[in-house]
Amino acid sequence: VALRNRGFRVGILDADIYGPSQPKMFGLEGYLPEAEQVDGQDIILPAETMDMKIMSIGFFVKPSDALLWRGAMAVNALRQMIHQTRWGALDFLLVDLPPGTGDIHLSIISELKIDTAVIVSTPQQIAVADVRRGVEMFRNPQVNIPLAGIVENMAWFTPEELPENRYYLFGKGGARRFAEENGIDLLGEIPIIQSIMEGADTGTPSVSIDARVEPYYREIADRIVDKVVK
């Protein structure tokens, strides 16, 4: 949304096949994409909201359904969403990946030309350990995808009645330290703010409705743009 607010044309591909979250986060639960035939091939029309295009496997299954798919089936579904979605002209296609370094990640790497990767972590050491594996994957010579940097989510908690106080519920600065130790830029820190949680649950991104939240996301978006827009 912060990129859209800067005037960029944005698409979002929800590549978390086994746990899609974008439909709920954008208030699109129950949306069923239409398809049209183009040269004998089904082309899927993505959801459009807030001037962004969104595609997710979550549009095709019920939220309560468990996808009991082997890797090949998940990869095939992902390829269809990449190549058979009418994305149109975009400045940014954001790909929301699940944690890990499995088939989904390798398929994205092989099917798309990726300009940069953004790693999201929380401050805990257990989360930083997962981040380390992701960084090693992107830096692997066979992959070699540039890292824009790391975002530390849930960096601290500030109660509304004590706006000057910061409480580090999950430790302090774990992602920042990892970034410094590994020569990676820290793109920004996002605190725990109630409107972020409520916005995700109600399908209204908090960056659009809470003035306290917008600067955190704008800072991250600006730094990503500086990395990739020539």
pLDDT range class, residue 3, cuts 50, 70, 90: very high
Q: What is the pLDDT of residues 183-228, one digit of tens each?
A: 999 999 999 988 888 888 889 888 887 888 899 999 999 999 999 9
Sign of CA dihedral 11, 118, 20, 14: positive
Do 93 and 135 have their domain in common?
Answer: no
- The residue among 189, 199, 191, 121 whose CA lies nearest residue 162 is 191
β-partners of residue 56 are: 14
Please give the average per-residue pLDDT across 7-36, as a whole number: 93
Same domain membership, residue 95 and residue 200? no
Q: Do 108 and 123 reside in the same domain of the chain?
A: no
Do 160 and 174 lie in a common domain? Answer: yes
Instruction: Determine the pLDDT at residue 107.
Output: 92
| Distance from C-alpha of 158 to C-alpha of 175, rounded to nearest angstrom | 19
Give dist(CA 209, CA 195) in Å, integer: 8
- Beta strand 117-121 with 147-157: parallel, antiparallel or unpaired? parallel
Q: What pLDDT, on the 0 to 100 scale, is given for residue 67?
A: 77
**The total number of structural domains that make up the chain:** 2
pLDDT 10s digits, 149-189: 999 999 999 887 887 889 999 999 999 999 999 999 999 99
Q: Which of 65, 83, 114 is the last residue of a domain?
A: 114
Q: What is the CATH number of the domain that holds 224?
A: 3.40.50.300
Q: Let me know whether 110 and 163 are in one domain.
A: no
163 shares a domain with 102: no
Check whether residue 85 and residue 144 sit in a common domain. no
Residue 178 burial (CB count, 10 A)? 23
Q: 84, 114, 144 — which closes off a domain?
A: 114
| Structure tokens, 113 | 């030309």
Are 98 and 3 members of one domain? yes
Residue 89's pLDDT is what?
Answer: 96
Residue 189 or 30, more confident: 189
Task: Tell me the residue range of the domain where 37 lies.
Answer: 1-114
7/103 same-domain check: yes
Mean pLDDT of 1-6: 93
Please check whether residues 107 and 31 belong to one and the same domain: yes
Tell whether the torsion through CA atoms of 55, 36, 110 and 53 is positive or negative.
negative
- pLDDT class of 69 with cuts at 50, 70, 90: confident
Is the domain of 103 the same as that of 137? Answer: no
Q: Is 6 helix (H, G, I), strand (E, B) or coil?
A: coil
pLDDT for 100-133, tens place per residue?
888 899 999 999 999 999 999 999 988 888 899 9
Q: Is the pTM of this model over 0.95?
A: no
Two structure tokens written together for 196: 């972020």
Same domain, 68 and 130: no
Q: Which of 62, 84, 114 is the last residue of a domain?
A: 114
Q: Is the Cβ–Cβ distance between 17 and 73 less than 8 Å? A: no
DSSP per position, 72-134: HHHHHHHHHHHHSB---S-SEEEEEPPSSSSHHHHHHHHHS----EEEEE-SSHHHHHHHHHH
